[in-house]
Structure 1
Amino acid sequence: MVESRGCFDKRKLNIAFLSRGVRALVGRFARDGRASLAISAALMMGAILGLAGLSIDVTLLSTLRSRVQAAVDAATVTGSRNLLDYVAVNGFGSVGRYYPTIQTQTVNAIQANLQLEKNLSNIVIGLPSVIYNQNSGTVSAGVDATYNPIFMKLFGFKAMPIRASSTSTSKSLIKYFQIVFLVDVSQSMAVGGTVADIKKTKDSFGCTFACHQLGDDTLTKGRMRGIVFKMDYAKTAIANFLSQMQSISGSNASAFYSAAIYTFSDKLRTLIEPTSMLSDVTRAAAWLDVELLATAPYKSVIGHTNITAALSSLAQTLPKLGGDGSSSTSPQTILVLITDGAQDLIGSELWAGYSDGNWADSCAAFKAKNAIIYAINTYYYPYTDDGGYYNKFVSPFASQIQAAFPKCVSAPSNAILASDGPGITAAVNRLFQKITSSIRVSN
């Protein structure tokens, strides 16, 4: 019995030993599997993080490229518009001198928009190209920069290039305009055009102001002696304006012009109604003269000056007033008033008591009908040796006169002071540049 138990115990021992070995082997296998899985998981996690980092950097890179492109686009659009705005104010004759300013403005605008982008470096902005041609302003610019990645630098990607370029063109809209000159031809336009002319008039006729009367044609006599009067400067300047307008109207496909000339002293008179035949208007400008010397049927007797009546009559009778410039039957009106701004409302020596500079309200009728108003102030020189006429008839209301011009015009810069004859020439030349310049409407 004892042996038999012993044999039985030995078998049990062998089975137990085998069981412990199997468990140990299984345990080691399990431990080795967990290690492998840990390594695999770590590798997978690294790959996932790498892909996530790549995704973040790619997204940021794409966003930055869009922002850089938007910055360049905005700068060139603004530059092209500023170019046409400059031409609108100053004319196209000097536009080339403004190119460097547009270039600087464009570069500064790009830099201002990119300076807060922390992940950009090595920003290089090329010198913008600026071109004005045929009533179009074009600005081109380009930018090279580097994106500094956040995660991809861990994988050896230390810089990613960004490049953007843009070209913007602002163009004028095809428009139709009628340019209407309303010219003061009263006696005050027969004052000498310069200080020297005023002195020569005084030396020749003993007067400088209001000395041109019926029966004493001092204008013709003065011209024979080389005196140039304010009317002479105005007439020549308007003729030159129209001649230049005629020369560009055939080649300028972005705008179409007609023109007219009206005169006034005591009341409105028609020299030539609006017509697209600018050569006819140019020839008509030669007929302009002070009221006593105008040729028939434009001649009038002495009538003093009524600016209010002239403006009111023209607003009621001017053809096509109120147009929007969209067609030849609906042209936009540009009114050019040329006067010294002093009006006297009755035709007698008592007129000094009825003088004023309160005529600006009559301009409202034109503004209400979409007209653009310019005014050239043919300034009264403060005479000191004219027998007291200036101090009696002009000086008391000089401040009213000066205040009337900016009230009348469409914009403050549209009121142009011409302190003498050459100033009238310069004012009309400036007016030509302003009127014939582009009107920016779109890109």
Structure 2
Amino acid sequence: MIRALLRLLDAFRRDASGNVLMMTGFALVPMIFATGFGVDYSRAMRVKTILDAAADAAALSAVSNLAMTQTAALAQTVALANFKAQASMLTAVTFNAANDLTIAVADTSSTSGTGRQVVVTWRAKSTNIFSTILGSSSLAISGSATASALKPPYVNYYVLLDTSPSMLLPTTSAGLSAIRSATSAMANAPYGCAFACHTKNPHSDSIYIRNTAGQDIWLDSSGNAWPISSVWNGYVYSPNYANGTQPLALQSSGQYADGYWLTRNYASLYGGSLSILLRIDEERSASQNLITTAQTYATSNQVSYKMQFYGFNWTHSGASSPLTALTSSMMDVKSLSTSSVPDLYAAQDNWYKNNCPYYNFCNSDMGTEFANAMSSLNAVMPAPGDGSTAATPQEVLLIITDGVPDETYNGGRWARELNPTDLAQCSAIKTKGITIGIIYTTYSADSITGDTWSQTVVGPHLSSVASTLQSCASTSSAGAPLFFEVGTDGSITNALAALFAMTLQTARLVK
């Protein structure tokens, strides 16, 4: 028996084809298991990819614009539902959200605004098909996703517009040239006056507005313009009234046209189509555009912005400060419209004459009380909140000015760059936590050409105006001042919109 078995084994040993068959059979076993395990692993990785994508989507859903307006708990619920909905569509997966899914939502709040970070962590088991033969019924898989976002803060905006007489300057080179040419015969000859001064007695300041025939333009009590051929015994005569043979009216019942009137009537007086817009005109246009810009941002960011407009020049009789509320109160921008900003041109004071706002009151032309305006506004603005809710808004002050105050300082007159008292008022506002952004409408040396007093007192210090305004302004997160300069032919509207966007970027918390 034993000898027979040995002979059989020896026969197998000598048979080469049998050896190959056995070796092939033994080799196929691990190859089959390896292939099966590869299939199981590929299925597990496909499931992981799907669940990773679900985690990404869940995390992002908790920091969407809508979610950022909701509580962290509600955002967590939204993210959980989002992940579970996608996970439920998978088969051959063992996943229990109660034990295998963690969604952490953390809100942060500071004076810079509100932020949120969401971390989604998951684990699951992919059911094996082939590997169960080896005792491995599943493969463990896991993943995580992190998303963070900024919640734009709620902000109250105070917009302070310089409405002093120096803002009655044409915004374009063509406008400057036109108004100078029209007044050059008498005012600062041969340069003329670049400012559209509004005075009841322009002739006393050498401002003569004349037609192409050289006749003075006189405005009656209704604002109608008349060319004047002569003045006799207190009456004015016009070739357009009774051929100049009869008196038109008492000279004292109206006034002669000034540079202010000229800017609105240049084309009708001299022909052509030139429209002379002043800085106060563009201040209004820029403010109107700011309202619509803020409305767009508020809708996009799912927050509310409030806004109130103020003007400042000089302290009028019976008033306690140079500050004037141009809109009645701090209002949601969605409640404002372009008509909310009043006509700054129409609201200009009609001075009695140069240096004197009224017949019986003169103030040496000190019509830009910057320090008093800032002090008065600081008393109105509350301490800011962190901007996380509408009840705790941040506070931002936007200023448009030519940067040259004309006010009392140390017992004398100051008409040059911001003085230490002005800057102290800026510091007081910033120390309070309020952000200041400034649009500087360049006080150009060209505008005072021929004006001896201005060239002597103001001119030498014009190079310091921008730097002191930058010192007044707050700085961005990059350390640059929140400041734009707009020169002749520039756009105050574009600059104000850009400044508004900068203040929003500065307010955000980056995590």
Cα distance change on mapping 1:304 and 1:421 into 2, 3 Å: farther
Determine the C-alpha separation between the residues in 2 that align with 1:393 and 1:211.
20
String of CA shifts for 1:380-406, please: whole Å, max 9, x gaps: 121163333542242222233121122
Q: Give the TM-score of the pair, scaled to structure 2.
A: 0.48
Residue 373 of structure 2: aligned partner = 310
Residue 381 of structure 1: aligned partner = 444
Residue 327 of structure 1: aligned partner = 389
CA displacement at 1:328 relative to structure 2: 2.2
More helix by share: 1
Equivalent positions of 1:237-386 (< 5 A) are 237-242=286-291, 244-245=292-293, 247-248=295-296, 251-266=299-314, 267-271=321-325, 272=327, 273-276=329-332, 278-280=334-336, 282-289=338-345, 292-293=348-349, 303-319=366-382, 321-346=383-408, 351=413, 356-358=418-420, 359-383=422-446, 385-386=449-450
Cα distance change on mapping 1:419 and 1:246 into 2, 3 Å: closer
Give the greater-gyration-radius structure (CA): 1
Pick from 270, 280, 284: which aligns with 1:231?
A: 280
Determine the C-alpha separation between the residues in 2 that align with 1:388 and 1:395.
10
Cα distance change on mapping 1:327 and 1:352 into 2, 3 Å: closer
Question: Unpaired runs of 5+ in structure 1?
Answer: 1-164, 295-299
CA displacement at 1:278 relative to structure 2: 4.3
Determine the C-alpha separation between the residues in 1 that align with 2:300 and 2:430.
27
- Partners of 2:384 and 2:434 within 8 A in 1: yes
What residue identity is the alignment partner of 1:212? C
String of CA shifts for 1:23-75, please: whole Å, max 9, x gaps: xxxxxxxxxxxxxxxxxxxxxxxxxxxxxxxxxxxxxxxxxxxxxxxxxxxxx
Pick from 460, 465, 485: which aligns with 1:396?
A: 460
Determine the C-alpha separation between the residues in 2 that align with 1:174 and 1:185.
32
CA displacement at 1:180 relative to structure 2: 1.0
- Partners of 2:286 and 2:492 within 8 A in 1: yes
Equivalent positions of 1:128-277 (< 5 A) are 170-205=148-183, 206=187, 207-209=192-194, 212-216=197-201, 218=258, 220-226=260-266, 227-242=276-291, 244-245=292-293, 247-248=295-296, 251-266=299-314, 267-271=321-325, 272=327, 273-276=329-332
Determine the C-alpha separation between the residues in 2 that align with 1:351 and 1:290.
28
CA displacement at 1:197 relative to structure 2: 1.1
Cα distance change on mapping 1:367 and 1:436 into 2, 3 Å: closer
Determine the C-alpha separation between the residues in 1 that align with 2:297 and 2:491.
26
- Partners of 1:323 and 1:330 within 8 A in 2: yes
Cα distance change on mapping 1:376 and 1:166 into 2, 3 Å: farther
Determine the C-alpha separation between the residues in 1 that align with 2:380 and 2:415.
30
CA displacement at 1:214 relative to structure 2: 2.7
CA displacement at 1:363 relative to structure 2: 1.5
CA displacement at 1:179 relative to structure 2: 1.2
- What secondary structure is seen at the aligned counterpart in 2 of 1:248? helix
Cα distance change on mapping 1:305 and 1:379 into 2, 3 Å: same
Equivalent positions of 1:423-442 (< 5 A) are 423-435=491-503, 440-441=508-509
- Partners of 2:155 and 2:393 within 8 A in 1: yes
CA displacement at 1:215 relative to structure 2: 0.5
Residue 41 of structure 1: aligned partner = none
- Partners of 1:188 and 1:209 within 8 A in 2: no
Q: Percent identity?
A: 21
- Partners of 1:170 and 1:441 within 8 A in 2: no
- What secondary structure is seen at the aligned counterpart in 2 of 1:341? coil
CA displacement at 1:192 relative to structure 2: 1.4
What residue identity is the alignment partner of 1:264? F
String of CA shifts for 1:7-33, please: whole Å, max 9, x gaps: xxxxxxxxxxxxxxxxxxxxxxxxxxx
Query: How well do the aligned residues superpose, as a CA RMSD in angstroms?
Result: 5.3
- Partners of 1:345 and 1:351 within 8 A in 2: yes
Residue 415 of structure 1: aligned partner = 483
Cα distance change on mapping 1:314 and 1:290 into 2, 3 Å: farther
CA displacement at 1:367 relative to structure 2: 1.7
- Partners of 1:340 and 1:380 within 8 A in 2: yes
Determine the C-alpha separation between the residues in 1 that align with 2:341 and 2:389.
26
Cα distance change on mapping 1:178 and 1:391 into 2, 3 Å: same
CA displacement at 1:174 relative to structure 2: 4.8
Cα distance change on mapping 1:327 and 1:181 into 2, 3 Å: same
Cα distance change on mapping 1:432 and 1:274 into 2, 3 Å: same
Determine the C-alpha separation between the residues in 1 that align with 2:442 and 2:145.
46
CA displacement at 1:276 relative to structure 2: 1.2
- Partners of 1:214 and 1:292 within 8 A in 2: no
Determine the C-alpha separation between the residues in 1 that align with 2:299 and 2:405.
41
Question: Unpaired runs of 5+ in structure 2?
Answer: 1-142, 203-257, 267-275, 315-320, 351-360
Determine the C-alpha separation between the residues in 1 that align with 2:418 and 2:434.
25
Cα distance change on mapping 1:198 and 1:426 into 2, 3 Å: same
String of CA shifts for 1:313-345, please: whole Å, max 9, x gaps: 1111225x4222122232111110111111121
Determine the C-alpha separation between the residues in 2 that align with 1:166 and 1:404.
51
Cα distance change on mapping 1:211 and 1:276 into 2, 3 Å: closer
CA displacement at 1:176 relative to structure 2: 1.2
Determine the C-alpha separation between the residues in 2 that align with 1:231 and 1:399.
23
- Partners of 1:192 and 1:230 within 8 A in 2: yes
Cα distance change on mapping 1:326 and 1:215 into 2, 3 Å: same
String of CA shifts for 1:295-318, please: whole Å, max 9, x gaps: xxxxx9975112111111111122
Q: How many pairs are equivalent?
A: 327
String of CA shifts for 1:256-278, please: whole Å, max 9, x gaps: 11100011112442322311154
- What secondary structure is seen at the aligned counterpart in 2 of 1:345? strand
CA displacement at 1:289 relative to structure 2: 3.5
